[in-house]
Amino acid sequence: MSIGKGLTRRGLLKAAAAAAPYVIASAALGAEGRLPPSERIGMGFIGLGTQGGGHLVGGAWTYLTGGYLARDDVQVLAVCDIVRSKRESFKQRVNAYYAEKGGGGTYAACEAYNDFRDLLARPDVDAVLIATPVHWHALMSVMAAQAGKDVYCEKPVSLTIREGREMVNAVRRCGRVFQAGTQQRSCYGGKFRRACELVRNGRLGKLKSVYAMLGGGGFSHGPGPGAAGQPVPDGLDWDLFIGPAPWTPYAGNTNAHMFGWGSINWGQHHYDIVQWGIGADDTGPVEIGWEDGKPAYRYANGVVVYGCPYPGEKVGGQGGAIFVGTDGRLAVDRDWLVSYPPTILWQPPGPNELHLYKSIDHSSNFLECVRSGRRTISDAETAHRAMSILLLGGIAETLKRPLKWDPAAERFVNDAEADRMLSVALRPPWRM
């Protein structure tokens, strides 16, 4: 279905309702208590695997039965995946859901796309959710911002520091709203926010060190020789799957983390909480050491972050961190918040102390900010800086030596060899 630039969502739905053989149920036009289309956020979903599909129709990380599809303030207009069966299946599921919710008839306003650029070209799509293989995240976020879309992007938000900065710049330049999928700032009963507030309000005394549980990670070149060469299945666009990454023959799977190594999957969750607790959302370390096979990051205020678990501590493995100060220790993850001594947890911030950005639902925070234009709880700069720590650790691990880092310029200090690892060339014709 082609959509003219002057056609609003309300006009689109009314036109579709009048055009045989499609019939749009009254709920789609704003009846039965639903917001009218002009007040709903038109969304497109790019990447429909476990993560993206869960966001769309409901999953453990959405914290809302039925996902975005079940929200009355959202209209799902487009789905996109390089696997034909996935995109067609979700298209049918979306249309069937809206038809049933409307009390009958046929709903056919959600379209399926193989190429995400076709989805981004739709003027009625206000926002996109990107849950593709990780090597696509930064570039798709840039292109979505340039197309005038607000962006919710799953982690990791980038595979190199330079592409992460390009993502931030594009979001700012285009005036778009961005939310990273680091939902721990919003969810899990507020444990992570409470932990970071206690640390930043001095309940541990002077903060000395933080244990991030996981080491570094970074970009890799995918499967090595001999691992590939199988026929590409019908209905899979393998060239578009590879996209900007180095060409790699099909090896029998569409591994979302094929072009990443180390702690690339979980690491951003951990370092996001580390940065929040330190108060470093807009900066980073000044030195990266290499100790006992793990990175150690020293910040300008003297705090040292270790890319490993705290000896003997069991809490922190599920996206968490351990904060150590002169007066105590605090460990947090998705299941637990514990302190040593226990009395640290008995001292919530007072009215005149620091209170961090409060969000109780990550998806709702994103949608509220799409409407208002205000900053999300996991905005582009915050997400980029957290991801940068993980990537800096990966560079230190690769070079096996200490590094000095300028967090303002985002360059290594007098180290051309390390600077070359801040970016990778994109496969033509893709470019930032």
SS3 388: helix
Residues 58 and 168 reside in one and the same domain: yes
> By the 8 A CB rule, do 375 and 179 touch?
no
| Residue 227 located in a structural domain | no
Average pLDDT (31-54) is 83
Confidence band, pLDDT 50/70/90 cuts, at residue 37 = low
210 and 99 within one domain: no
Q: Average pLDDT of the chain?
A: 90
What domain count does the chain have? 2
With a cut of 80, say whether residue 25 has pLDDT above it.
no
- Asked if residue 96 is part of any domain, the answer here is yes
CB 126 within 8 A of CB 238: no
pTM given for the model? 0.90
**Are residues 156 and 33 part of one domain?**
yes
What does the pLDDT look like over 294-331, one tens digit per residue? 899 999 999 999 999 999 999 999 999 999 999 999 99
116 and 206 in a single domain? The answer is: no
Task: Give the model's confidence band at 18: pLDDT under 50 very low, under 70 low, under 90 confident, else very high.
Answer: very low
CATH number at residue 273: 3.30.360.10
Specify the pLDDT at position 39. 85
374 and 329 part of one domain: yes
Q: How confident is the model at residue 100 (pLDDT cuts 50, 70, 90)?
A: confident
Distance (Å, whole) CA 252 – CA 52: 21
Together in a domain, 293 and 163: no
Average pLDDT on 121-143 reads 97
Using CA atoms, how far apart are residues 392 and 284, in angstroms rounded to an integer?
10
- Per the model's pLDDT, the better-predicted residue between 325 and 18 turns out to be 325
The 10s digit of each residue's pLDDT in 211-263 is 999 999 999 987 655 566 789 999 999 999 999 999 999 988 899 999 999 99
Do 181 and 71 fall within a single domain? Answer: yes
pLDDT of residue 225: 55
Letter for the amino acid at 85? S
Tell me, yes or no, whether 356 lies in a domain: yes
Question: Where is the domain boundary, 185, 208, 227?
Answer: 185
Backbone angles phi, psi at 329, to 5 degrees: -140, 145
Condensed to tens digits (0 to 9), the pLDDT of residues 43-74 reads 999 999 999 999 999 976 666 778 999 999 99
Q: What is the extent of the structural domain holding 301?
A: 188-217+264-422
CATH number, residue 120: 3.40.50.720
Residue 177 has pLDDT above 70, yes or no: yes
Task: Examine the domain organization and report whether 150 and 131 are in the same domain.
Answer: yes
Which tokens go with 39?
């007040």
Sheet holding 411-412, edge to edge: 337-340, 328-332, 321-325, 207-211, 304-306, 294-298, 287-291, 403-406, 411-412
